[in-house]
Amino acid sequence: PDVALSARIERVVAQAIAERRLVGTVVLVSRDGKLVHHQAAGLADREAGRPMREDAIFRFASVTKPIVSAAAMKLVEEGKLRLDDPVTRFLPDFRPALPDRTQPAITVRQLLTHTSGLSYRFFEPSGSAYHALDVSDGMDQPGLSLDENLRRLGQAPLGFVPGTKWGYSLGLDVLGGMLEAVSGERLPALVQRLITGPLGMKDTGFAVADPARLAVAYAD
């Protein structure tokens, strides 16, 4: 019964908050397309004592990746982009090299599957090219343009030959730059037109729609 389900979930959430494993949360459960449980619990801002509410806005961080990937696949569906297109077809200046200075092709498929040879700065040791070039991992330099970050990233050496290994990376940022070049639109507008707009995700974007509803991000 749904009543029993809600009671069990509420106990688990209350325990997690009491044990300080969560500051606050919003929980929605759907069964067979019907919403059977929903609740907001805890705090959206611990320091200010602001309670969580069901319409709170949360930072997605890397959950932007599947959203941008969906936009890319929409352009593939429309025939404007192919999975085996090289990055240089649309971003001719993005040519990161291997340590031996060769410049292998990187494809859309490799960007989507994290097999491009790119990395993140937080994975790289202090003093690496990523640090020297001040490559942004996404949320550390507000206001930095995508174009500028791709310029920096393109100067960092690849960690391996594209397609030979898996490595979580900024590849989806590169894909975002490709999508802009393919469509002639800025990435936020493209994602809104193709994905979040049709799905009614009115609060989802690269900028906060309503700062008063933004939940503070806490480290686990």
What's the Cα-to-Cα distance from 87 to each of 74, 133, 186, 189, rounded to whole Å?
17, 21, 17, 21
Closest CA to 106 of 170, 149, 61, 187: 170
Q: Whole-angstrom Cα distance, residue 158 to residue 174? A: 14
Q: Which of 30, 62, 69, 126 is catalytic?
A: 62
Question: Annotated catalytic, 128?
Answer: no
Cα torsion 44, 50, 53, 59 to 10°: value is: -30
What is the distance of C-alpha 95 from the center of its chain?
Answer: 23
Residues recognised as catalytic: 62
